[in-house]
């Protein structure tokens, strides 16, 4: 299921990364996503949901002009 999800959104994610890398290093983006991996490892579904919602909202702060 996760692989299917990735395959569905891969192109959009890669395009976004190319644009956002003008503002953030690959290492910074990886560290940012590591927080999501860590919350998933806790097994706390509510915390994971909140972390992912906050993660998606934080992308609104990146100006893609």
Mean pLDDT score of the chain, rounded to an integer? 82
Domain boundaries, the chain: 2-61
Question: How much is the pLDDT for 62?
Answer: 57
> What phi, psi does 21 have (nearest 5°)?
-65, -10
Integer CA distances (angstroms), 39 to 30, 50, 63, in order: 15, 10, 27
pTM for this one? 0.60
The CA distance from 63 to 58, in Å, is: 11
Checking if the pLDDT of 65 tops 50, the result is: no
């Amino acid at each position: 299921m996760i692989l299917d999800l990735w395959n569905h959104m891969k192109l959009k994610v890669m395009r976004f990364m190319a644009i956002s890398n003008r503002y953030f290093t690959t290492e910074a983006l990886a560290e940012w996503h590591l927080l999501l991996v860590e919350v998933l490892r806790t097994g706390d579904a509510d915390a994971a949901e909140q972390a992912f919602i906050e993660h998606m909202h934080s992308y609104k702060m990146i100006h893609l002009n």
